[in-house]
Each structure stands twice: as structure tokens, then as C-alpha cells.
Structure 1
């Protein structure tokens, strides 16, 4: 599978929102939007209103990662109404309603993914993994950008890759956290497919975003060249 790149928009320069989105529209495969409620994690970031404004500027898929204690009460529908094309949830907060929530999101013509925190086992998805469109592995603790990579998560990526292969599932595999020069090769070898790129992987590489994007692609190609040639 060709690598897919999803810029994490909480890391972008919001003072140049329109300019940067117009540029990314010609380069990115999809967008990653973090919505945090200040309770599930001790941070608050983007919102359904941000998604609505983003949708006015792009036709690319918008993946929304909900870090909220009660997403089913408001945020899911608000994000879909605003233009989200995928809702990604944490199994810990929706476990008792998981089947109903998955069904509801699909009925809204939106894809659904589940996000595994570093301490959350893959087994948390066992009951409904056949119904979902994405498995995201957090390689940092959720809530804040710029944290160090948790190398133990490479084994979890391999585990999800093997489950997908042996079960014949079609969900995509994504990594959130420290996707950058020091990890691209490790993540690709483990079986990752979608790279969420934030400060260290994209926005911090150069003050000019077009230059930063080209630098990111060059780094990725260099780091993964030996894998592609096998």
C-alpha cells in the first residue's frame, strides 16, 4: 500500500489557516483534526466549528479524532454535520454502546475508526473489529503534541497488521504520534499505512510549508527506500 499522509491540523499555523489549507489541498491525502473536551485529556484543541470552516476550503477527507468522555451525546453528530468523513473514537469511553455508535455513524454515511492508547490492548476491539474502517495506534500518550515516541508500540502495530491479514479485514492502519525522520522506517516495517504528521514530521521542518512538505517527502523516501526495494 502506498503511504498516506494526514497532516495534524492542531500543529499548523492557524494565523495562516486559509493559505496553508490551500497549499495542503494539493499535497495531503486527508486531514486529521483533534477534538478534545478537556476531560478525557487535560487539553482542549479544535472543534466542530473548525471542521465546518475547514470543509469550506477542501474536498479532502477529514478524519476527526474525538478525545472526549461522552462523544455520543453531542460531538459525533456535530462533527459529521460539520463535514467530517471519519470519526475515530476511544474504546474505553464507548464500550457499552459501541455497536449502537458504530451503526449510527455508518448510517450517517461516515466511516468509523477506533484509537488505541499506548496502554490499551488490541483486544479492546475484538468484539467489533470486523465492523470498523480504521485502527489508529497512539505511539505517544494522548493530549499533547511533541511527546517522545513509545517504541513498545511497534509490536502493537505488527499485531494489528497480522490481525488484518489473517482475518481478511479491510480496515486501514494508522499511527498517531512522532511520525518523523527517526520513526518513518520503523513504522513502515511494522506495517503502518497512514502517517499523521505534526510538528516534528512536517510543520516544524521549515517556516515555509511548501518547503517543509517537500522535505518531509524526501525524508520519508530516504528512510523507507530499503523497505520498498525488498
Structure 2
């Protein structure tokens, strides 16, 4: 059996002193880069920005997926539309009253629109506009910081979204974000999201070197799941 997955490294967790080396190595191995943009209000932390996306683009043609953790999505969506960020993902908890407007704004710019569900937010929150979405991201940890506790129950949402997509013919991709690492590879693989966000515990922090870290990640994935990578994109039983 062949199953396609997509890998999206979280650049918030990379080693900035190895910025060019790590991006250059990953460019032909991954499907997108995950960019966390936090405003210090929706979550306490403050991280990356549209400027960072422009810096990555100087050495990469890989599509960018921005994960907004902000209280004012209207401002940040416009900033990301202005730089043509390929995928813009908004927290579902802050879009009441502006969801349709923001999704249309993103699509009108020729870009893709996603929504992110925090651990406490049910899939049903997306019901009014789920048919318009290009991606749904399931947070398997509390948002805002790396290294949070993995919440296994959130994987049920992935199953729900897959069944709903098949039943209704929706086109969104299903992404999971949080503690994608050796300890959780098997249960994540069983839930079968389309996009795996990998961060410090699953990739960048495994060894001091990105090449050996990648090799270790692949080995751990294969050992824990029984699948193997084919160029980092496909896994085969």
C-alpha cells in the first residue's frame, strides 16, 4: 500500500545560526515550511513575521504556510496577502464575524485559506464555512510554545475530518501540529493526517547537524510505524 504524506518543518524551532544550511538541505525534501506568527496576545509568545517569510524566500521556492496565533486576523491576513504567502491559516477562535470575508480575501488573491483548531475547539466550529477551506490544522498541543504536552484525544478530530471530507466531498487537507516525534509517530500515523508539522523534538533538536537529524527522524518514523519514506514524500508499507 502506498500513502502520500506531506512534511512541513516548523521554522520557529530551527537553529537560526544554521538558517541557510538547514533551509538549503530541506528544500528538496519537504512540501512546505510552517511559519508560526504570534502576537503576544492570542498566546503569550511572540515569534516569526511576514518579514521572515520574505527572508526564507531568498533561498527557497518551497511554499510557505503561515499559522496565525493572533487576536486581529484581519491585519495579519492583509500583511500575508501582500507578500503572497501561499497558505494562510487562521485560528477558528477569533474569526466570528469576519470568517467569510477573510477566506474570500485570501482566495481572491489566488492563495489558500486554512483554519486552525485549538485542542478545546470542536470540529463543529468550522461548520459554517468548512466547504470553503483548503486546510484544517489540528493542534495536538496547547498553542504558543514548543514542547507542550501531547494531547492524544485531539487525534480523534483528524478521523472526524477525514470521514466528513469523504462524505461531503470537501477538498481541505488535514494537518496536525504538535509533538510530532518518536514517542507519538505511531498514533499520529494511525490517525493519518495529510500534513505532518515537524519541529524541534521530531527533527531540529535530534542532533547538532540537520543531515543526521533528518536521517534519525526517518529511521524513527520507519521503526515506529512500519512504513518507509520514499524521498520524504511517500510512505509505503
1:223, CA displacement in angstroms? 2.1
Partner of 2:158: 157
Partner of 1:209: 210
What TM-score do the two structures reach when normalised by structure 1? 0.95
Unmatched tracts of structure 1, length 5 or more = none
Higher helix share: 1
Separation in 2, partners of 1:189, 1:115: 21
Partner of 1:127: 128
1:83, CA displacement in angstroms? 4.2
1:167, CA displacement in angstroms? 1.3
Aligned residues: 228
Given that residues 38 and 46 in structure 2 are in contact (C-alpha distance below 8 angstroms), is that contact kept between their aligned partners in structure 1? yes
Partner of 1:193: 194
Separation in 1, partners of 2:168, 2:186: 25
Unmatched tracts of structure 2, length 5 or more = 228-234
Separation in 1, partners of 2:198, 2:182: 11
Q: CA RMSD in A?
A: 1.4
> Could you say which structure has the greater relative contact order, defined with CA pairs below 8 angstroms and 6 or more residues apart?
2
1:170 has 2:171 as partner: yes
Partner of 1:109: 110
Given that residues 88 and 112 in structure 1 are in contact (C-alpha distance below 8 angstroms), is that contact kept between their aligned partners in structure 2? yes
1:44, CA displacement in angstroms? 0.1
Partner of 2:62: 60
Separation in 1, partners of 2:204, 2:83: 25
Separation in 1, partners of 2:90, 2:208: 32
Separation in 2, partners of 1:95, 1:52: 30
Q: What is the 5 A alignment of 1:16-165? A: 16-72=18-74, 74-165=75-166
What TM-score do the two structures reach when normalised by structure 2? 0.92
